[in-house]
Structure formats: structure tokens, C-alpha cells
Amino acid sequence: MDILAFRPSIFRRPVILLEVIFLLVIGGIAYWLIGYPLAFGSEGNSFLSYNFWANDKLPPGEYGHWFFDFVHATSAATLVSGSMAERCNFYAYLIYSFVITGRLFS
């Protein structure tokens, strides 16, 4: 099997880099809004927390923890984007990135 057959074309590489930048932006918003409170919220029931939505009432000492987990959440979506290169619509990719970063990773 030829490994070069799976590399994106040279003309498509800037678009893929742009997708990764959008992933950081969209994934950051998704994880900031819904991902972190679903994963680490302390008040509420076992399914849904009532604090940390959009980092509301997040202690300043927890921002490092938030950033560390944000990087892991966006990395999960980036790994899948490598396999989807040149195979899906750009808007579908943005929606997928929002869902996997905001909900599935938490």
C-alpha cells in the first residue's frame, strides 16, 4: 500500500490548516459553553451541573485545568479531521467539531 496515496494534495493543504484553526475557535467556544460544565460541574445532579457554564463561578485556580482539558478536547476532534481530509463538507466539519468537542469529549 502506498502511503503517499492518502496525503492531501498540495493545493488542499492551506484549507486543511484553516480547518484546524477553525477547530480551535469552534472547539474552544463549545468546550467553554457546554463541555467543561458537563464534565466537571460540581453542583446539580449526576447528569447536569448547575455551575461553570461559560466559566461562570469558575475559581481562578481552575483556569489551567480548563485549558489543559480544552487542548485534549480539540485534539480529539483534530485526530478525526485527519481521516476526514478532503472527504466531507466544510460546514459539516464545523458542526461535527462543535459536537465532539462540546459534548462527546465531556
pLDDT digits (tens, 9 = 90+) for 21-49: 888 888 889 888 988 888 887 777 777 77
Domain annotation covers residue 72: yes
Say whether pTM exceeds 0.85. no
Residue 1 located in a structural domain: no
- Structural domain contains residue 4: no
Nearest to 38 by CA among 49, 54, 24: 49
Say which DSSP state 72 is in. Answer: H
8-state DSSP, 8: P
Residue 17, all three cell numbers = 490548516
Q: How many domains does the chain have?
A: 1
Question: Domain for residue 3, yes or no?
Answer: no
Whether 61 is in a domain gets the answer yes
489551567: which residue's cell? 64
On the question of pLDDT at 64 being above 70, the answer is: yes
Q: Which residue range is the domain that position 82 belongs to?
A: 9-43+51-104
Classify residue 30: in a domain, yes or no. yes
The confidence score (pLDDT) of residue 16 equals 74
Average pLDDT over residues 61-78: 88
Q: Is residue 28 part of a domain?
A: yes
In a domain, 89, yes or no: yes
Average pLDDT, the chain: 79
Determine the 3-state secondary structure of 30 from DSSP: helix
